[in-house]
Structure 1
Amino acid sequence: MASPIIVSIPHQLGRAEARRRIEGGFAKIVNLLPGSSAAPNERWDGDRLIFSVVALGQTVSGVIHILDATVTMEIELPSVLRLIASGLKERLQKMGQLLLTKK
């Protein structure tokens, strides 16, 4: 299996507020995946969001780690979706920064 897409986003919100914003904006993150059709399976384990979603008929899985000053996303793409990996990584980075910008 290919290595996951890893996106690390620094923030100044603290762990609790970063988690609240990721919880509230997770649908926006999933919508970045092309052809995502069904609701994602998601489960919190402490401050880690473990998820999977079907995109273009393929299962995409990942983990979002919420830390005090950083949120890290690790997303496993099936080989057919690896072609979009670089563009997806950029879009995930931008969406994450929007969600975690201090307001």
Structure 2
Amino acid sequence: MMRVAIPHTLGRDEARRRLRDKAAKAMEKAESMATITTTFADDDHMTMTVGAMGYSVDCAVELTDSELVVDVDIPASLGFAKRMIEGMIREKTGKLLT
């Protein structure tokens, strides 16, 4: 399990609005390279599954007042790519809040 925290200064309501609005757009953009499914358990918790290149990666996203915390269950066979995956999470998840 890998945990990635992305700080924000938006306030919870604005961060929540952006996360919901952009999560759907992210799914549309990734369609040719990956499959992304998202489900909101409540206002501050989202689950996401990303499928690409024969792998499926489950993520749990929690919104707090000051950060977006992403817990990622990386398959053992992708352990070699952990740093690359973390970088992509920081980049792509950060864009959900912009």
- TM bucket by the smaller chain? 0.7 to 0.9
After TM superposition, give the deviation of residue 66 of structure 1 in Å: 0.6
Alignment size in residue pairs: 92
After TM superposition, give the deviation of residue 18 of structure 1 in Å: 0.9
SS at match of 1:72: strand
Root-mean-square deviation over aligned CA pairs? 2.2
Spell out, residue by residue over 1:39-87, the C-alpha distance to the aligned partner (whole angstroms, 9 max, x if none).
Answer: 42x2111210012232221221011101111110111111222221101
Task: Give the fraction of aligned pairs with identical amino acids, expressed as a percent.
Answer: 26
Q: Do 2:57 and 2:75's aligned partners in 1 also have CA atoms closer than 8 Å?
A: yes
Gaps of 5+ in 1: none
Taking structure 1 as reference, are residues 24 and 82 closer, same or farther at Cα in structure 2, changes over 3 Å only? farther
TM-score, with structure 1 as normaliser: 0.72
Q: 1:35-54 alignment to 2 at 5 Å?
A: 36=34, 38-40=35-37, 42-46=38-42, 47-54=44-51
Which structure has more strand as a fraction of its residues? 2
TM-score, with structure 2 as normaliser: 0.75
| CA distance in structure 2 between the aligned counterparts of 1:20 and 1:97, rounded to whole angstroms | 14
